[in-house]
Structures are given as C-alpha cells and as structure tokens.
Amino acid sequence: MKVIIAEDYTKQCSIAADIFEEIIRAKPDCCLGLATGSSPVGMYQELARRCREEGLDFSRVHSVNLDEYVGLEPTHDQSYRYFMDTNLFDHINIDKCNTYVAKGTGDVEANLREFNDVLASSEIDIQLLGVGGDGHIGFNEPGDSLYDHAHLEVLDESTIDANARFFASRDDVPRYAVTMGVGDIMRAKRLLLIINGNKEDAASQLLLGDRITPRCPVTLMKIHPDATVLIDRALADKIGYKG
Ligand code: GLP
C-alpha cells in the first residue's frame, strides 16, 4: 500500500486529481469508480476546472458509484445521484448515460440485480474511496463478516449521526443504503483513499495496525495490489504516522 502525506486539503485534492487525470489521458474510455461524502468534493472541483480550462476530456469516460441511500429519489438534494450531478457531472463533458448511481427508490431487489449486473460488466480502472469514522467503505459497515457483492446495508447509528449534518434533522437520515460489496471494491484495478478530519481510529487501524479486519472494513485496502492512501498532514500528525 502506497501512502502519500499531503500538506493540506487543497494539495490532497490536486494529487488525487493528478492520479485521475493520468488514468483518463492514458485510457479515454476508462471506468471510474466514484464516491460521495465531503472528502472528494475538492477533487471533483479540480477535475471540473481541468475539464473547463485544460481540455481534460470525459466524453468517453464511464463511471459507477459506490452507493446510494434507500428511500431518496434521485432529485432529492441528499441523494447520491444528485450529489454526483451537482458536484461533478454537470460541470464536465461526461455523457450522463455513461454514469451509474444505483437506484434508491422502487423495488430494492430489482435495483440490486441491476447494480450487480452493472458491476459484473464493468472493469473499474480506479475506485475512489472515502472512509466513515467507523471504518466503513462505501456503506459496508463493520461486522463479523462483509459482503462480496452489492447488497442492502443497515446503517450503523454512528453513520446516521455522522451524516445527520446533511439533513434537516437526524430523523430524516435514511436507515438503509445499497452499496457495492467489499469484493466489488477490491476487484477495482486501483484504489485511492482520501482521508482527513476526525478519522483517527480508521487511519490508525489502516496505517499503524497490522490487522485486516471486518471490524474496520478500510483495513482490507492493505491486501489490494495497487492501493494508495492519500492522508493530510494534520491527520497523519494526530495519529503519529511518520510515513
Ligand atoms: C458516507 C459515504 C462513504 C463516505 C463517508 C465519509 O457514509 N457512504 O462513501 O466515505 O460518508 O464521508 P466524508 O468524506 O464526508 O467524511
């Protein structure tokens, strides 16, 4: 696992954008695995700038997203489809028909079949990841075991607490999500994690501990053949990681 310490969030975003740009320029019809949450927002802004000002071309790029809340329409301002449209897709020259965010409303089983079909026919060149405070990736919550494929996940109370800041009240946070399984994530050719903020526990387990455990799903990154962790200096210092 490669670890890069970035001086601050701006630098973290530009390094992440460099990694994505390199892949897009080398393979214009690549498939990007995308993520939501606050961690990737700055990187998406930087990719949009490079598209606008430097001609970074997304016209043949495909994308698949990690997850979606169950119960939110794609037009809901906290749905992950809406997040992707407003934070990235509306600002680059991607064909939205080539972007996939699982459906959160309607027949859950049918939605999961469709999600798994999309994943089975996609070869993800790079999967972007953030991490929950409890170590979850996508919405794969810690537990005795983890899922291989896309499935329905019951969100942990700590995840609901963490995500409540985006909703009018905690009661409005969905209790379920559909998410790629950890197997789907591990099958991506490359993984890139952006980690900063109050993620001390997950960062320590990933960078200082020797355990690979379903109790902290992000630790699976340790056994991926091409994984990069992009951590900011503040968090690296907080956990005493020297590189
Ligand atoms: C949500 C998403 C995760 C994301 C996590 C952390 O739970 N499902 O994919 O990594 O939030 O978000 P943030 O980057 O805002 O800390």
Q: Name the closest-CA residue to atom 3, ligand 1.
A: 138
Q: Name the closest-CA residue to atom 9, ligand 1.
A: 138
Query: Average pLDDT over the chain, rounded to whole?
Result: 97
Indicate whether 79 pLDDT > 90: yes
Q: Separation of 35 CA from ligand 1 center, angstroms? A: 8
Q: pLDDT over 70 for what percent of the chain?
A: 100
Residue 243: predicted pLDDT: 85
Residue 236: predicted pLDDT: 98
Indicate whether 212 pLDDT > 90: yes
Which residues does ligand 1 sit against, CB inside 6 Å? 35-39, 66-67, 130-132, 138-139, 159, 163
Q: In what order do the strands lie in the sheet with 126-129?
A: 2-6, 227-232, 191-195, 126-129, 31-34, 62-65, 99-100
Q: Separation of 113 CA from ligand 1 center, angstroms? A: 24
Please check whether residue 21 is in contact with residue 56, taking contact to mean a CB–CB distance below 8 angstroms.
yes
Q: Which of 9, 12, 13, 39 to mutate to test the pocket of ligand 1 (most atoms within 8 A of CB)?
A: 39
The bridge status of strand 62-65 relative to strand 31-34 is parallel
